[in-house]
Each structure stands twice: as C-alpha cells, then as structure tokens.
Amino acid sequence: MYEQIAFYLFSVLTIGLFLVTVLSKNLLYSMTALAAGMVMISGFFFLLGADFLGVVQLIVYVGAVMALYAFAMMFFDATRDVKEKNPNGAWIFLLGGMVALMMVLIFSAPIFSENIQAIYPSIAGATNPQSVGLVLFTKYLVPFEVAAVMLLVAMISGIILAGKKMDQSLTTEDDVLNTEIITEEDDK
C-alpha cells in the first residue's frame, strides 16, 4: 500500500513539475522545476528496487541541470520573465497532434502487455550494480562502446573549439589579453 501511495505521489509531483518547466515563462521557475522533476524520477527507480539506477539518475541529472543553469545565467536575466516569440501556428498544431497521438499509444499499450516477456531474467544473488554491469558488458557491449567513442569525439571537439588560447592564463595576463582583443576588433 505504501508503494502505491508513493507511486501516485511521485507521479503527480513529476508531471506537475514538468508542466511548470514547460509552461512557466520565468527562467528560474522552469529550471528549478526541471531539476526537481529529475530528482522525483529517481524516486520511481527506488520504488522498483533499482537503487543503483536511482542514484545514478540523481547524480547525472543534478550535474547536467547544473550545467544548464550556468548557460542560462550567461544568456538571461533570471529575475525577469522571458519574452517568447510566437512561432508559426502550424507547428503548434503539428506538435499538439503528435503529443495527442503519443498519449493514445501510451494509454493503449497495456493491451499488448502480455506479449512482453523478460528475455534476460535478473540473476539471483547479484546485487544491483553487478546485474547492470553484467548486461552492459555482455549483451549491450557494442552500443556501450559506441556511446563511449561518441563521448570521446564530443570531448575532443570541445577541447579543440575552446582551447585555442589555453596556454595563456586569463587572470595573470589581463593587460596582454585586453590589448590583443582590442587589436583583433580593430582588424575586423
């Protein structure tokens, strides 16, 4: 019974918080609701007994949304509402229709639920991280490695894009850098 209460509590909170994320025009409200919603989702993993995945959800998304805040801080004034441009009406119709279609599919999914069976049943006696590791390094080894290579590519390109003046310190050589920037602007 406690599990059902907890499930409905987390569901209502998650949906409510993500609604705030989408509908609010205030940057601070929507970002905070996004972070809180991610924390609420980890509650579902804990309810299902997947402690490890729940904690990973917590750590990964707390960090990811924190990076998002850093970008928001650079581009917007957090205390004012963001003025949105009204996009084309056709887009709203299209997106609304697709969301409605997805809702129908999600709610009708239980009709076929009996056909779905676990091909790889959980191993008895294995702890949470162990069973995740077993599946990750046997059945899903190739996708796992491909994801690793993709992240490596992203990391290297990020370093190349940002690292043009890595040998100079921004704080100790202030004057040198300022004059350089000024001369560059003059050239343009």
Partner 1 sequence: MEIVNLAVLPEVTSAGVAIKAIIILAIISAVAGFGTFIERKVLAFMQRRLGPMHVGPYGLLQIAADGIKLFTKEDIVPQNANKLIFKIAPSITAATAFIALAAVPVFPDFTIPEWIPLLGGVFVPSIAADVNVGILFILGMMAAGLYGPLLAGMAQANKWGIIGSARTAVQFLSYEVVTGLSMLAPIMLVGSLSLVDFNNYQDGGFTSWMIWQQPVAFVLFLIAGFAETNRTPFDLLEHEAEIISGFATEYSGMRWGMFFIGEYANMITISVILAVVFMGGYNDLGFMAGWFIVVFKIAFFFFLMLWVRASWPHIRPDQLMWLSWKILMPVAVVNIVITGIVMMI
Radius of gyration over every alpha carbon of the chain, rounded to an integer in angstroms: 23
Give the tokens for residue 142. Answer: 């190739």
**Least Å from the CB of residue 76 to partner 1:** 10
Residues 11, 127, 157, 178: which binds partner 1 (CB under 8 A)?
127
Residues 11, 169, 178, 179: which binds partner 1 (CB under 8 A)?
169
Which of 7/29 has CB closer to partner 1? 29
CA angle, residues 177, 181, 185, in degrees to nearest 5: 170
Residues 15, 99, 102, 129: which binds partner 1 (CB under 8 A)?
129
Instruction: Indicate whether 79 belongs to the interface with partner 1 (CB under 8 A).
Output: yes
Q: Taking CB under 8 A as the rule, which mask of x and - marks residues 32-71 in contact with partner 1?
A: x--x---x------x----xx--xx-xx--xx--xx-xx-
Give long-range contacts, CB 8 A cutoff, 24+ apart: 134-139: none
Residues 7, 82, 128, 177: which binds partner 1 (CB under 8 A)?
128
What ranges in the chain are assigned the alpha helix state H? 2-23, 27-47, 51-75, 89-108, 128-138, 141-162, 174-187
Residues 6, 20, 28, 47: which binds partner 1 (CB under 8 A)?
28
DSSP 8-state assignment for residue 54 = H
What's the rounded Cα separation, in Å, for the pair 2 and 134? 31
Q: Is there a contact between 38 and 57 (Cβ–Cβ < 8 Å)?
A: yes
The contact set with partner 1 (CB under 8 A) reads 26, 28-29, 32, 35, 39, 46, 51-52, 55-56, 58-59, 62-63, 66-67, 69-70, 73, 78-79, 127-129, 169-171
